Amino acid sequence: MADFRVPPLVRTGAGCARNTGQILAERGYRGALVVTDPIVAGSPAVRAVLDGVRRAGLALAIHEGITSEPTVEMVETALEAFRLSGADVVIGIGGGSPMDAAKAVAVLARSPGPLPLYEGVDKVPGKRVPLVCIATTAGTGSEVTRYVAVTDEQRNRKMLITSWQLLPDVAVADPELTLDLPPGPTVSTGVDALTHAIEAYVSRRRQPLTDTLALSAIRRIGRALPRAYRAPGDGEARSAMSLAALEAGIAFCNASVALVHGMARPLGAYFGVPHGLANAVLLARVSAFTAPAAPERYREIAVALGQPVAGATPEAGARAAVEAIERLCADLAVPSLSALGVAADRFDAVVESMAADAVASGSPVNNPRDATAEEIAALYRACH
């Protein structure tokens, strides 16, 4: 048995976000709290979207306080802004950080806090405030997922909250909003999407509907991400990336992520490595570890990445997939952890705690190859 869920309205296409006001007015909302960050709020394309919402008759309160990946404190401040605003809908606009913060606000506005109460699976009670998520990266896919990732700084922990209550009512993926994204975040958010697709495709919780979406996302990303990296204004590549991030988001929402994501979150919590970059740093090595346990699956990934593996054994196909992932990451200049400034002495001191946290996150149980804490620590070291 498998269940498959998506938000009731998923809107895609170049320029589509400009009609968001119409959707909100049709539903009878009168005021919105917009949760975002200062860079996104300053983007002319985003301003045009918000002007459209105003023109549709809604009062807007704009909260730009999500200045990095969200923390419990940032969510509490945004919640205060919601209470002061009198809004009846929350709009998260930006990358995964503002969208996740908006989801958390929509929950806490109707249920008692603090947010860490809801860490884990299906802990979120009752109702939430109506929620619209508009992506400006391609990307986390948060606009179509049931997840929120928020750092609890007191515990050095990137919490994962999983609940169907977190699936937005409206998801918008408009490639025009991603045209301003510089090459660095284009790569890190794009490799995050690729990781979602690969992990969903090999996950022990995969299902036929997620397979189709995951392979389509891998195909699109393999072709479009190098183009979007080299030529940020390439509208065709941005459209492909925007759709791919959405497909990958739907896929992993319904099939889960696995070992790479389990290992990425501690890198964020201990060293502040941004989520997409953490996945990017780990993806090739962890794929090399996992591929021998699911060679047929990785051979299909090789095909999706354009490798000539027709007639190859599954094992040879899987090796070709790992090599293609390595080449793609090299082409996109994905750095090592040491190149990112993760100091060797601090890294050695916490690598075992990070491995324990990765295991405790629950994501590695979805990986087709089981990994012990020692093997995870060795993988971290290989990526330093």
Ligand X SMILES: NC(=O)c1ccc[n+]([C@@H]2O[C@H](COP(=O)([O-])OP(=O)(O)OC[C@H]3O[C@@H](n4cnc5c(N)ncnc54)[C@H](O)[C@@H]3O)[C@@H](O)[C@H]2O)c1
Q: Which residues bind ligand X (CB under 6 A)?
A: 37, 39-40, 43, 69, 94-97, 100, 136-137, 139-142, 145, 147-149, 177-178, 180-181, 185, 189, 192, 275-276
The interface partner of residue 39, options being Fe ion, ligand X, none and the CB cut-off 5 to 8 Å by kind, is ligand X
Answer yes or no: are the C-beta atoms of 98 and 92 closer than 8 Å.
yes
Question: Residue with structure tokens 């993988």?
Answer: 379
Specify the residue, 161 or 342, whose C-beta has the smaller distance to ligand X: 161
The interface partner of residue 142, options being Fe ion, ligand X, none and the CB cut-off 5 to 8 Å by kind, is ligand X
- ∠ CA 194-46-26, nearest 5°, is 100
Cα 1 from chain centroid (whole Å)? 26
Specify the residue, 43 or 189, whose C-beta has the smaller distance to Fe ion: 189
Answer yes or no: are the C-beta atoms of 92 and 35 closer than 8 Å.
yes
Q: SS3 for 181?
A: coil
Burial classification of residue 164, based on how many CB atoms lie within 10 Å of its CB (0-12 exposed, 13-18 middle, 19 or more buried): exposed
- With CA atoms as reference, report the closest residue to 40 among 171, 190, 142, 181: 181
Q: Does 192 bind Fe ion (CB under 5 A)?
A: yes
Total binding residues toward Fe ion, as defined by CB under 5 A: 1
Handedness of CA 269, 150, 145, 228 (dihedral sign): negative
- With CA atoms as reference, report the closest residue to 77 among 50, 52, 54, 108: 108
Extract the tokens encoding 219: 């195909």
Q: Are strands 89-94 and 31-35 parallel, antiparallel or unpaired?
A: parallel
Q: At what angle do helices 183-202 and 259-271 cross, to 10 degrees?
A: 140
Specify the residue, 276 or 314, whose C-beta has the smaller distance to ligand X: 276
The interface partner of residue 24, options being ligand X, Fe ion, none and the CB cut-off 5 to 8 Å by kind, is none
Specify the residue, 20 or 188, whose C-beta has the smaller distance to Fe ion: 188
Specify the residue, 143 or 192, whose C-beta has the smaller distance to Fe ion: 192
We find the least distance from the C-beta atom of residue 18 to ligand X, in angstroms, to be 15
We find the least distance from the C-beta atom of residue 375 to Fe ion, in angstroms, to be 21
Residues contacting 368, CB < 8 A, separation 6+: 202, 203, 204, 258, 290, 293, 294, 297
Pick out residues in 31-50 that bind Fe ion (CB under 5 A): none
Specify the residue, 137 or 366, whose C-beta has the smaller distance to ligand X: 137
We find the least distance from the C-beta atom of residue 140 to Fe ion, in angstroms, to be 6
Question: Which residues make beta-bridge pairs with 91?
Answer: 34, 132
The interface partner of residue 177, options being ligand X, Fe ion, none and the CB cut-off 5 to 8 Å by kind, is ligand X
Rounded to a whole number, what is the distance in angstroms from the first to the last CA of the chain? 40
We find the least distance from the C-beta atom of residue 21 to ligand X, in angstroms, to be 19
We find the least distance from the C-beta atom of residue 161 to Fe ion, in angstroms, to be 14
We find the least distance from the C-beta atom of residue 230 to ligand X, in angstroms, to be 17
We find the least distance from the C-beta atom of residue 300 to ligand X, in angstroms, to be 23
Specify the residue, 104 or 371, whose C-beta has the smaller distance to ligand X: 104
Burial classification of residue 59, based on how many CB atoms lie within 10 Å of its CB (0-12 exposed, 13-18 middle, 19 or more buried): middle
**Stretch of residues binding Fe ion (CB under 5 A), selected from 174-182, 184-192, 212-220, 350-358:** 184-192
We find the least distance from the C-beta atom of residue 257 to ligand X, in angstroms, to be 8
The interface partner of residue 149, options being Fe ion, ligand X, none and the CB cut-off 5 to 8 Å by kind, is ligand X
Could you give the string, one character per residue 319-348, with x where binding to Fe ion holds by CB under 5 A and - elsewhere? ------------------------------
Q: Max CA-CA distance within the chain?
A: 63
Binding stretches for Fe ion (CB under 5 A): 192
